[in-house]
Structures are given as C-alpha cells and as structure tokens.
C-alpha cells in the first residue's frame, strides 16, 4: 500500500495511535482509563498503538488491552526543538511512513504532551485521514515564561492540523480557542478513583516520618521549568523556619531538578526538606501530608491534585487557569510573592479545609470516568 503525505488508501475501521514520548505519566495513565470506552463501543475494528520501543512501562500497561489493542513498538522519539526541526528529521518521518503504510489507518490519534510533540509525524500525515489530538495543555509560550514571538507563530500551524481535540478540562479548551482553533474540542475531564486512605500516623510510621510537626508535600516530576520547584524552594528559603515553625517539606519525584533541589535543601536546616525518589505508593505520602503544594508555571489537570482532593487533603496551587477551575480563590498562591507561612497556616484552618472539600466535591463528582469516556468516543465522530 503506497503512502504519500497528501493521500492514503485507508483500511476502514482502523485507528492508529501515535505516541513518541519515553515517559509514562498522568497523561498516559488517563489515556489508558479512557481507552476501554473506545474499545467497548467497537468504533474501530482494529486499534494499533505505536509506542517508543524503550517505553517499557507503557508497553507493559497496554498488555491487558490485548487483543483489542495491538502494540506496535517503533523508533520514533520526541526531541528538543521539535517544531523547528520537524522537516529535517528524515529517519523519524521514514518510520512514520512505514507505520502508515503497514496499518492504513482510517483515523489517527495523536497522544501529545504539548502541540509540538509528534510535529515530525504530523508533517507526513495524509490529508484524507481524520486526525484527533489528545492534548493535556495548550499554553502560549508567553504563559510559559518564554518568548512567543516566533514560537507561538510556528505552533499556530500545528494547532490547525487536527480535525478534533480531546482535552482534560475546560481551561485547556479555552487555551485552544485562544490559538484560533475552530474544530470540535471534546472535554474528557481527568478523573481518579480515590486512592487508598491510610491514617496519617500509620502512613508516617511506614514512611519513617516524625509523628509531630506539619508536613507539606510536593509530588511529581522534579522539573523547575514547568513544575516550579525553584519557586517553592526559594519561598522556603525566603520565609525561613523562624516563620515556618514546625513545617517540613517532602519532595517526591525524579527529574532534571533533583540536583538543584538537593543543593537548596543542603542550605536549609537539616531534615526540614527531604527529597524522595518517585514511588509506586504516592497514596502513602498523600495520607502522611497536611497539604499538597503545586507551584507550577504551566499545567494541564494534574491527577495528583485530584487524588489529594479525593482524600480531603488541602491543595495550595499557583493561580493557573486549570487550578482556578477546581480550587477556590483562597487556595491559589503566588509562590514568588505571597507569604508562604500565611498560606500554610490558612490551609490548617478547619473551616477553610471543610470549604475546600465541599467545593472540590461539587466540582469533581460530576466529572465521572464514564462521562469522560463518552467525550473521548465522541471526538472520533466529530473528526
């Protein structure tokens, strides 16, 4: 079957899912929660999922979907500078063309962390095949603290390619409209089952934490650029433990900011900032904590926040649009300017905690997995 960038002879009822990230995070977890809805309605006779050969976690997580979903390990892998180099990644584009020729998809799903991911693949996708993008965020470059003079202009053409979008919250749908997107956008809200709840004293015992004192938790990738880890550590240093009192901080995760975090922790009183590698039991840390801190510069709809709210754990987060959609104003914190000690004290106020739990329940209860799966399926009818 010949494949050209502008034309393909598709096999009816075949969906090709393209993914080129080595990571397995919340976006992938949520996709795997939505995929059974698509399988159940038999919208497609064959679903082929192209996964980077080195992404062992995602490949293993797809095992239970066999034979409904066929895993196709491939050599496509995202790279820095993707939107600018997409026309020059000839080997990558060759791998995409081979997949297209082998599968002959009647629809294509792009699993993108940001719109520039899979840009090299998009450059060779046939125009006569509907393309749906599953996208967790669509911030402008300026909103991410970067110059948007060239970057946003280059990305605007990428935003125009999909025939439909699936996003995790209404805030991201608004971001897409800001980029000039006019095609259908389905909101499949991220949702989580309540994680296991362990009494705080028992969770701290299992983790080796002191029973006394307050514990503030950072849970996620140690990425200063996106997750704002530097903001948090600077705020802790700026406040000082004379004002922070008996608060301690635990950072759970791995990533490029680990060394920076270790150096910052070494300049603070011993034991007041602990750094822990990523764990398969984040629920224990959520149960041990008094508050979850999310100082992100940009974000989609984090599963960690939803899991914390499901446990009744307060969340102090940056005033981003996605957070504003779920959190009352008193729980939004500018980590670069606001008084961290005051915000933490507010988080321990019983009336405020109860108000947050009530507001979160009103917002999250309607966002069921069943509704998200239905929105996910609708996107393929809209494309």
pLDDT for 118-135, tens place per residue?
A: 999 999 999 999 999 999
* Predicted confidence (pLDDT) at residue 377 exceeds the cutoff of 50: yes
The pLDDT tens digits of the residues spanning 218-247 come to 999 998 889 999 999 999 999 999 999 999
Q: pLDDT-based confidence at 9, cuts 50/70/90?
A: low
CB-based contact 159:180 (threshold 8 Å)? yes
Mean pLDDT of 258-267: 93
Structure tokens, 345: 């004290």
The pLDDT tens digits of the residues spanning 314-334 come to 999 999 999 999 999 999 999
* Predicted confidence (pLDDT) at residue 216 exceeds the cutoff of 70: yes
* Predicted confidence (pLDDT) at residue 199 exceeds the cutoff of 80: yes
* Predicted confidence (pLDDT) at residue 4 exceeds the cutoff of 80: no
What is the C-alpha end-to-end distance of the chain, expressed in Å?
24
Of all residues in the chain, what percent carry a pLDDT higher than 70?
97
> What is the pLDDT, as a whole number, of residue 344?
96
Mean pLDDT of 139-162: 85
CB-based contact 274:248 (threshold 8 Å)? yes
* Predicted confidence (pLDDT) at residue 178 exceeds the cutoff of 70: yes
Pick 140 or 150 by higher pLDDT.
Answer: 140
Torsion of the alpha carbons at 107, 110, 111 and 113, rounded to the nearest 10: -160
Mean pLDDT of 200-208: 97
> What is the pLDDT, as a whole number, of residue 65?
97
Which residue is listed with tokens 């984040």?
282
> What is the pLDDT, as a whole number, of residue 77?
87
> What is the pLDDT, as a whole number, of residue 8?
57
> What is the pLDDT, as a whole number, of residue 363?
83
Which strands sit side by side in the sheet containing 273-276, from one edge to the other? 273-276, 247-252, 214-219, 291-294, 315-317
Mean pLDDT of 145-160: 84
* Predicted confidence (pLDDT) at residue 362 exceeds the cutoff of 90: no
Residue 172: in which H helix or E strand, if any?
A: helix 170-178
Torsion of the alpha carbons at 233, 239, 242 and 246, rounded to the nearest 10: -50
**Separation between Cα atoms, residue 61 and residue 280, nearest integer Å:** 14
> What is the pLDDT, as a whole number, of residue 357?
83
* Predicted confidence (pLDDT) at residue 164 exceeds the cutoff of 50: yes
CB-based contact 110:10 (threshold 8 Å)? no
CB-based contact 73:51 (threshold 8 Å)? yes
* Predicted confidence (pLDDT) at residue 146 exceeds the cutoff of 80: no
DSSP 130: -
Mean pLDDT of 187-212: 95
The pLDDT tens digits of the residues spanning 56-80 come to 999 999 999 999 999 999 998 888 8
* Predicted confidence (pLDDT) at residue 5 exceeds the cutoff of 50: no
Pick 80 or 170 by higher pLDDT.
Answer: 170
* Predicted confidence (pLDDT) at residue 1 exceeds the cutoff of 70: no
> What is the pLDDT, as a whole number, of residue 334?
96
Mean pLDDT of 199-206: 97
Structure tokens, 180: 């000039």
């Amino acid at each position: 079957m010949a494949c050209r960038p502008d034309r393909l002879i598709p096999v009816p009822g075949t969906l090709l899912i393209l993914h080129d990230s080595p990571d397995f995070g919340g976006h992938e977890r949520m996709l795997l929660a939505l995929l059974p809805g698509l399988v159940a309605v038999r919208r497609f006779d064959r679903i082929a999922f192209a996964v980077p050969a080195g992404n062992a976690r995602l490949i293993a997580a797809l095992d239970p979907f066999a034979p409904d979903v066929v895993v196709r390990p491939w050599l496509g892998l995202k790279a820095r500078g993707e939107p600018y180099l997409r026309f020059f990644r000839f080997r990558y584009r060759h791998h995409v063309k081979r997949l297209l020729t082998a599968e002959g998809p009647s629809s294509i799903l792009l699993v993108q962390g940001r719109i520039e991911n899979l840009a090299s693949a998009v450059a060779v996708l046939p125009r006569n095949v509907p393309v749906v993008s599953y996208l967790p965020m669509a911030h402008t470059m300026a909103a991410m603290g970067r110059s948007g003079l060239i970057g946003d202009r280059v990305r605007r053409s990428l935003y125009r390619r999909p025939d439909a979008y699936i996003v995790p919250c209404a805030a991201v749908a608004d971001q897409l409209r800001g980029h000039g997107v006019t095609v259908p956008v389905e909101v499949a809200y991220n949702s989580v089952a309540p994680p296991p709840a362990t009494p705080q004293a028992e969770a701290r015992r299992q983790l080796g934490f002191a029973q006394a004192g307050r514990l503030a938790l950072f849970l996620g990738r140690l990425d200063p650029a996106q997750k704002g880890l530097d903001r948090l550590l600077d705020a802790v240093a700026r406040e000082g433990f004379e004002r922070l009192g008996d608060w301690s901080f635990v950072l759970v995760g791995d990533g490029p900011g680990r060394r920076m975090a270790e150096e910052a922790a070494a300049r603070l009183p011993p034991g007041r900032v602990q750094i822990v590698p990523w764990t398969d039991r984040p629920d224990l840390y959520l149960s041990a904590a008094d508050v979850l801190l999310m100082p992100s510069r940009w974000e989609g709809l984090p599963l960690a926040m939803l899991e914390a709210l499901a446990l009744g754990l307060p969340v102090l987060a940056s005033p981003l649009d996605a957070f504003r959609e779920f959190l009352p104003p008193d729980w939004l914190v500018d980590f670069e300017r606001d008084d961290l000690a005051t915000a933490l004290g507010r988080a321990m106020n019983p009336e405020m905690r109860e108000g947050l739990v009530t507001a979160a329940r009103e917002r999250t209860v309607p966002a069921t997995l069943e509704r998200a799966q239905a929105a996910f399926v609708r996107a393929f009818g809209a494309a």
